[in-house]
Amino acid sequence: MSKVFNFCAGPAMLPTAVMAKAQQEFVNWQDTGCSVMELSHRSDIYIAMAKKAEADLRELMSIPDNYQVLFCHGGGRGQFSAVPLNLLPQGKSADYIVSGSWSKAAAVEAKNFGDINTININQDNDISLSLLASSDWPLNPDAAYVHYCPNETVNGLEINTIPETHGVPLVADMSSTILSHEVDVSKFALIYAGAQKNIGPSGLTIVIIREDLLGHAQIATPCIMNYKTSADHNSMYNTPPTYAWYLAGLVFQWLKELGGVKAMAKVNKVKAELLYQAIDKSDFYLNHIESQYRSKMNIPFWLKDDSLNDKFLSESEAAGLMALEGHRMVGGMRASIYNAMPLAGVQALVAFMAKFEQENK
């Protein structure tokens, strides 16, 4: 059993049951006499595992048949390049909604590959941080696609309704929210997510793409970033991240055993509410984000007296609560509470926060 609760934003904690299973079959997988990471990705036994992982993900997210699921390299940032390379033809522009640091980084990268229209939707005032409602986004009806990030990992901002783009393909960076609640995949042209938060270890990136968007890549697209090439070769044009794929498969099985995404969403709501209540009821801790835009996965909070930050971090770590330091861009603290974080972890954090407040105010 893990001795700490790990609140890292990613790579994040994995379910203990998954780690235990991986450990148990680490050196002898399915009686092959070797580790799954030592097997050819072209072997029948590996391909069967890979297909099962994809089928489980399709079931968990109810992915329609006219979508391809790709298991890629390159992380979220790899997709910052791959999306425009594959979806932005010459002579067209793409709309990039900027709600925080990751959507901004996606827009900056995309500018290397075409005409990008950046739309900043942050609405900051002295009291709270809010976002422009998606119905008021000034979208270009002729855009090749609209890109947005439903959950900003650094800023703790969530857009929890799917924007209406009136037929313009919608692309979402779901790196820090995928599988945390139910999503109607058919509303999206493309969804991508780095694995290292809610899926498995780093090194794997999931792309879910509607089939009609394949085959329009810019000429200069590197073959390993070309979605069509990847789809045509079942994500095995080059050697895929085989061990990460296997671990993702174990996470998908674990999710199914727990009742799937719907069941997970219920627990995630309870966890987030518990932590926000603890922050809001004290004037020792702060979170200024308007409630409807508060993330359920990444919860930043600030100590009113930031000279106590180091003390908070060293004492929380000593109490077995790991990696609570906020991202360097925003400071303060951040608790990332993805699917693998049990309710007990959030309860332990809330109890620690109350004790720390008592002793330091």
CA atoms within 13 A on the CB side of 300: 23
Q: Residue count at the site for ligand PMP (CB under 6 A)?
A: 12
CA atoms within 13 A on the CB side of 28: 2
- Out of 76, 84, 241, 332, which residue is the one contacting ligand PMP (CB under 6 A)? 76
* Partners of 190 in the β-ladder: 171, 209
H/E stretch holding 154: none
Tell me the C-alpha distance between 288 and 283, whole Å. Answer: 12
Nearer to ligand PMP, 325 or 357 (CB): 325
By CB under 6 A, is residue 153 in contact with ligand PMP?
yes
- Out of 5, 10, 264, 267, which residue is the one contacting ligand PMP (CB under 6 A)? 10
Shortest Cβ distance from residue 173 to ligand PMP (Å)? 5
Of 74-82, 135-143, 217-225, 267-275: span binding ligand PMP (CB under 6 A): 74-82
**What phi and psi values does residue 311 have, to the nearest 5 degrees?**
-65, -45
Positions marked active-site: 102, 173, 197
Distances in whole angstroms, Cα of residue 186 to Cα of each of 66, 96, 141, 272, 341: 9, 20, 19, 27, 29
Shortest Cβ distance from residue 263 to ligand PMP (Å)? 24
Nearer to ligand PMP, 148 or 301 (CB): 148
Structural Rg of the chain based on CA atoms: 21
Shortest Cβ distance from residue 249 to ligand PMP (Å)? 19
3-state percent helix, strand, coil for the chain, nearest multiple of 5: 40, 20, 40
Count of C-beta atoms within a 10 Å radius of residue 205: 25
**Is residue 254 part of an annotated ligand binding site?**
no
Site string for ligand PMP, 162-201 (x = CB under 6 A): -----------x-xx-----------------x-------
By CB under 6 A, is residue 77 in contact with ligand PMP?
yes
Annotated binding site for pyridoxal 5'-phosphate: 76-77, 102, 153, 173, 196, 238-239
